[in-house]
């Protein structure tokens, strides 16, 4: 109806494709932030740039319609960097680690590794014949439910596709192995972190003893920070 | 809605999508900012009444209802200070990091059936994940301020938020298990009907786990009695000691935004979402209980319903804040690790067994039965696939980015 009224702007914006715009935006942010991680010498700034880069990657996942993977990226990677940030703050708050200097040998090794990885990735990226957007033949169906069903042993997607009477077992065994593994890790962490009853009866004493010793270990410093420091 | 603009009015598609995206961003921003204005005023009035004072009475005539607006103008005019030793870049962006996290979580939060910025298949997961990112701003602020009070406050908050995410996640999983979906809209729809359908009344375990969730939510948004990050008696003002003016107010908008967000999430997960305690529209014959066909006026009523429930949650938070004394850090950790986490785990197992052995509830027919839920789940995923196949025919690449409603 009003196509003429918008004709000029439509011509101007004919190239404006929001999907490509956001793809370029997220990809650009991810790359620039990743480079900034390497270039900055402050641990906290590095962590911030890492968060930006990983967050932009999550944005790419959402853009591709992989909502579950995107939320996972936010929860695990970006949330995990949070702990990294906490340790960065703890380390740089009181010692001379504010500015990190990388030895030249490390730079060379890192450069070789990065170049090798880049070569593999570039080769993989250009070996794909044609890239497709979501909605152009790539399925954009919800991914969480089939994933969850597959993890507990029912491949819903295969039931729908092949009309199998007895669907193939999904990923129940790997899922169980990973769960038990994580449980063992948690128990181990709790065992390592538990208070040693004979040496440190109360957390207040822990702080006091941390103050009296000459060199501060990061752990002692952290407990001082959390508990509010010596009075 | 964008389809409506394209097909009926004939706007070009890029313009429609931009307009709809802008509109929903504008609405969400107003929920946060307007909510902060109202809640700050309410907080002052409630604090005053609990302490046997009057609170603001003059600004704007009666009740001092324009007080927060006056405060906002004062904050705008305040000098923006930055300490000498501060890390300038991090100090400047920290408030916006907090605010952005709060804002992003609202994108996936439905206010009524399909009245949602972007309906996500993994809505609960997304909201909880993004909510945990708000602490980034606080840590950056504490670090960049170059002040020991800020640093102490930020470290306390980090320790607190990281540990409370564990029981919070466990509590959130229970409604997901009952509804058989991580989609917040589906979870809300499963509780339609009488109040006995609400997940909090599903069985004794969910009743207990709701209160565990509320406690953890209180801790994860740093409200008293868990507000160690800004303990004014020992840390001056905690992480925002060095902030003033507009940057400071961004922290507060983020805080009130998250308070509203966790209360709204509690309402959606446990308190029947946008469904009232009595299915009035169904009894009057205005709708047949299928929300997808309900007229827009009913959805608006659903919005009001959810806002009322979430506001009630926020008011209870204020009531708690001005009633209970602040906990010590070791008491905060004890509450999390020795009480919240084991209780949440036990209740989770309890709900699981209840679903296994008493899926229909104690009285037959009084609750939804689990088989129906499971069938609905599979059926629904098939429906969604077919809907998506329909959507493939009219390819609009940006349809995934923002969609207000269908």
Mean pLDDT of B300-321: 88
Contacts of A85 in chain B (CB under 8 A): 136, 139-140, 158
Q: What is the pLDDT of residue B118?
A: 77
Query: Mapping DSSP to helix (H, G, I), strand (E, B) and coil, where does residue B257 land?
Result: helix
Q: Which residue, among B341, B329, B338, B343, has the nearest Cα to B160 in the 3D structure?
A: B329
Q: What is the pLDDT of residue B372?
A: 41
Q: Closest Cα of chain A to B180: distance in Å? A: 9
Contacts of B139 in chain A (CB under 8 A): 82, 85-86, 89
Is B186:B179 a contact under the CB 8 Å cutoff? Answer: yes
Binary contact (B120, A89; C-beta < 8 A) = no
In CATH, what class is A1-101? mainly alpha
Contacts of B135 in chain A (CB under 8 A): 82
Mean pLDDT of B128-141: 84
Binary contact (B143, A89; C-beta < 8 A) = yes
> Which residues in chain B (139-178) have CB-CB distances under 8 A to chain A?
139-140, 142-143, 148, 151-152, 154-156, 158-159, 162, 165
CB pairs under 8 A between A and B: 158
Neighbours of B190 (CB within 10 A): 24
Q: Which residue, among B368, B20, B405, B317, has the nearest Cα to B197 in the 3D structure?
A: B368
3-state secondary structure chain A: CCCCCCHHHHHHCCCCCHHHHHHHHHHHHHHHHHHHHHHCCCHHHHHHHHHHHHHHHHHHHHHCCCHHHHHHHHHHHHHHHHHHHHHHHHHHHHCCCCCCCCCHHHHHHHHHHHHHHHHHHHHHHHCCCCCCCECCCECCCCCHHHHHHHHCCECHHHHHHHCCCCCCECCHHHHHHHHHHHHHHHHHHHHHHCCCCCCCCCHHHHHHHHHHCCCCCHHHHHHHHHHCCCC
Contacts of A142 in chain B (CB under 8 A): 121, 183, 381, 384-385, 388
Binary contact (B133, A6; C-beta < 8 A) = no
More confident residue, B170 or A86: B170
Report the mean per-residue pLDDT for chain A: 72
Q: Is the pLDDT of residue B406 over 50?
A: no
> CB neighbours of A180 closer than 8 A, spacing ≥ 6?
none
Dump the DSSP string for B193-228. SSGGGSGGGSSHHHHHHHHHHHHHHHHHTT-TTS-G
Neighbours of B349 (CB within 10 A): 11
Read off the tokens for A18: 């929001």
User: Which stretch of A105-114, A116-125, A151-160, B370-379 has the lowest confidence by average pLDDT?
Assistant: B370-379
Binary contact (B158, A227; C-beta < 8 A) = no
| pLDDT tens by residue, A87-128 | 777 766 555 556 667 778 888 998 899 999 999 999 988 887
Q: Is the pLDDT of residue B378 over 70?
A: no
| Residue B200 to residue B202: CA distance in whole angstroms | 6
Is B404:B115 a contact under the CB 8 Å cutoff? Answer: yes
Nearest chain A Cα to B140, which residue? Answer: A44
Read off the tokens for B1: 């809605």
Rounded to the nearest 10 degrees, the angle between the axes of helix B134-144 and helix A43-63 is 160
| Residue B382 to residue A60: CA distance in whole angstroms | 26
Q: Is the pLDDT of residue B381 over 60?
A: no
Q: Closest Cα of chain B to A69: distance in Å? A: 10
DSSP state of B405: -
Q: Is the pLDDT of residue A181 over 50?
A: yes
Binary contact (A146, B151; C-beta < 8 A) = no
Is B279:B289 a contact under the CB 8 Å cutoff? Answer: yes
Q: Is the pLDDT of residue A184 over 80?
A: yes
Read off the tokens for B180: 């058989």
Report for A85-99, B27-41, B368-382: range of highest mean pLDDT: B27-41
Binary contact (A18, B18; C-beta < 8 A) = yes
Alpha helices, DSSP H, located in B196-328: 204-220, 232-235, 245-269, 280-283, 296-321
Report for A17-26, B149-158, B164-173, B377-386: range of highest mean pLDDT: B164-173
Q: What is the pLDDT of residue A136?
A: 52
Q: What is the pLDDT of residue B276?
A: 77
Q: Which residue, among A215, A146, A190, A118, has the nearest Cα to B121 in the 3D structure?
A: A146
CA A85 remoteness from chain centre: 13
Q: Which residue, among B26, B50, B355, has the nearest Cα to B205 in the 3D structure?
A: B355
Q: Is the pLDDT of residue A137 over 60?
A: no
Mean pLDDT of A129-138: 61
More confident residue, B380 or B105: B105
Q: Is the pLDDT of residue A52 over 50?
A: yes
A138 to each of A130, A134, A135, B159, B390, how far by Cα in Å? 12, 5, 6, 42, 14
Read off the tokens for B385: 């696939």
| Residue B32 to residue B310: CA distance in whole angstroms | 13
Q: Which residue, among B230, B222, B217, B227, has the nearest Cα to B340 in the 3D structure?
A: B217
> CB neighbours of B355 closer than 8 A, spacing ≥ 6?
B177, B178, B370
Mean pLDDT of B160-189: 85
Q: Is the pLDDT of residue A224 over 60?
A: no
Binary contact (A18, B14; C-beta < 8 A) = yes
Q: Is the pLDDT of residue A221 over 50?
A: no
| Residue B137 to residue B250: CA distance in whole angstroms | 11
B343 to each of B209, B217, B263, how far by Cα in Å? 8, 15, 21
Q: Is the pLDDT of residue B364 over 60?
A: no
Mean pLDDT of A134-159: 66
| Residue A57 to residue A63: CA distance in whole angstroms | 10
Is B184:B123 a contact under the CB 8 Å cutoff? Answer: yes
Report the mean per-residue pLDDT for chain B: 77
Nearest chain B Cα to A23, which residue? Answer: B398
User: Which stretch of A47-61, A132-146, A183-197 has the lowest confidence by average pLDDT?
Assistant: A132-146
Per-residue pLDDT band for B377 (boundaries 50, 70, 90) equals: very low
Q: Is the pLDDT of residue A49 over 80?
A: yes
DSSP state of B399: G
More confident residue, B17 or B50: B50
B123 to each of A26, A54, B184, how far by Cα in Å? 21, 20, 5
Longest dimension (CA), chain A: 84
For residues B146-161, one letter each, b for 16 or more C-beta atoms within 10 angstroms of the residue's C-beta and e for the rest, the string is bbbbbbbbbbbbbbbb
> CB neighbours of B395 closer than 8 A, spacing ≥ 6?
A135, A136
Q: What is the pLDDT of residue A185?
A: 92
| pLDDT tens by residue, B214-246 | 999 988 888 878 877 776 667 767 777 778 778
Contacts of A83 in chain B (CB under 8 A): 162
More confident residue, A20 or B346: B346
Binary contact (B18, A229; C-beta < 8 A) = no
Q: What is the pLDDT of residue A6?
A: 47
Mean pLDDT of B148-167: 83
Q: What is the pLDDT of residue A180?
A: 94
Q: What is the pLDDT of residue B330?
A: 82
More confident residue, B181 or A208: B181
Contacts of A3 in chain B (CB under 8 A): 10, 12
Q: What is the pLDDT of residue A186?
A: 85
A227 to each of B84, B323, B403, how far by Cα in Å? 27, 24, 46
Q: What is the pLDDT of residue A220?
A: 45
Residue B187 parent element (H or E): helix B184-189
Mean pLDDT of A184-205: 72
Q: What is the pLDDT of residue B178?
A: 84
User: Which residue ranges make up each domain of chain A?
Assistant: 1-101, 143-194, 197-231
pLDDT above 90: percentage of residues in chain B: 7
């Amino acid at each position: 109806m009003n196509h003429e009224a918008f004709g000029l702007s439509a011509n101007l914006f004919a190239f404006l494709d929001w999907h490509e715009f956001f793809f370029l935006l997220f990809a650009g942010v991810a790359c620039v932030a990743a480079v900034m991680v390497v270039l900055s010498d402050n641990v906290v700034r590095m962590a911030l740039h890492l968060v930006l880069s990983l967050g932009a990657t999550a944005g790419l996942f959402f853009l591709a319609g992989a909502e579950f993977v995107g939320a996972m990226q936010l929860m695990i990677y970006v949330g995990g960097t949070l702990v990294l940030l906490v340790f960065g703050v703890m380390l740089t708050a009181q010692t001379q680690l504010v500015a990190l200097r990388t030895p030249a040998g490390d730079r060379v090794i890192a450069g070789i590794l990065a170049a090798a990885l880049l070569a593999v990735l570039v080769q993989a990226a250009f070996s794909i014949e044609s890239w497709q957007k979501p909605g152009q033949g790539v399925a954009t169906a919800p991914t969480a439910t089939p994933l969850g069903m597959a993890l507990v042993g029912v491949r819903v997607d295969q039931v729908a596709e092949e009309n199998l009477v007895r669907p193939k077992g999904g990923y129940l065994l790997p899922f169980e192995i990973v769960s038990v593994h994580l449980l063992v890790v948690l128990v181990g962490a709790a065992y390592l972190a538990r208070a040693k009853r004979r040496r440190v009866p109360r957390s207040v004493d822990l702080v006091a003893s941390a103050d009296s010793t000459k060199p501060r270990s990061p752990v002692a410093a952290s407990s001082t920070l959390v508990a509010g420091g010596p009075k | 809605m964008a389809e409506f603009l394209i097909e009926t009015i004939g706007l070009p598609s890029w313009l429609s999508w931009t307009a709809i995206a802008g509109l929903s961003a504008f609405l969400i921003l107003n929920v946060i900012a307007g909510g902060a204005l109202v809640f700050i005023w309410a907080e002052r009035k409630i604090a005053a009444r609990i302490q046997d004072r009057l609170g603001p009475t003059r600004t704007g005539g009666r009740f001092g209802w324009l007080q927060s607006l006056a405060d906002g103008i004062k904050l705008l005019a305040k000098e923006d200070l930055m300490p000498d030793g501060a890390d300038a870049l991090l100090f400047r962006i920290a408030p916006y990091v907090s605010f952005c996290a709060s804002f992003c979580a609202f994108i996936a939060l439905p206010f009524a059936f399909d009245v949602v910025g972007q309906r996500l298949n993994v809505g609960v997961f997304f909201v909880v994940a993004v909510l945990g990112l708000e602490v980034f701003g606080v840590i950056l602020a504490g670090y960049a301020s170059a002040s020991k009070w800020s640093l102490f406050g930020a470290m306390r908050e980090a320790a607190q938020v990281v540990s409370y995410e564990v029981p919070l996640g466990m509590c959130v999983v229970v409604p997901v298990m009952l509804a058989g979906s991580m989609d917040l809209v589906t979870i809300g729809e499963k509780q339609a009907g009488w109040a006995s359908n609400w997940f909090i009344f599903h069985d004794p375990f969910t009743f207990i786990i709701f209160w565990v969730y509320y406690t953890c939510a209180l801790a994860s948004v740093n409200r008293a009695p868990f507000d160690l990050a800004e303990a004014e008696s020992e840390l001056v003002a905690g992480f925002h000691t060095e902030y003033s003016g507009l940057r400071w107010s961004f922290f507060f908008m983020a805080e009130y935004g998250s308070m509203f967000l966790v209360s709204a999430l509690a309402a959606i997960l446990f308190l029947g979402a946008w469904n009232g305690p009595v299915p009035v529209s169904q009894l009057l014959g205005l709708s047949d209980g299928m929300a997808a066909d309900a007229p827009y006026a009913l959805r608006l009523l659903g919005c009001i319903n959810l806002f009322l429930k979430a506001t009630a949650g926020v008011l209870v938070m204020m009531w708690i804040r001005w009633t209970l004394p602040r906990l010590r850090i070791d008491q905060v950790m004890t509450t999390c690790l020795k009480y919240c986490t084991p209780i949440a785990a036990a209740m989770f197992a309890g709900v699981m067994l209840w679903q296994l052995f008493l899926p229909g509830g104690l009285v037959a027919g009084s609750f939804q039965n689990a088989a129906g839920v499971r069938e609905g789940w599979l059926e629904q995923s098939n429906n969604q696939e077919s809907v998506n196949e329909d959507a493939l025919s009219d390819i609009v690449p940006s349809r995934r980015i923002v969609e207000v409603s269908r």
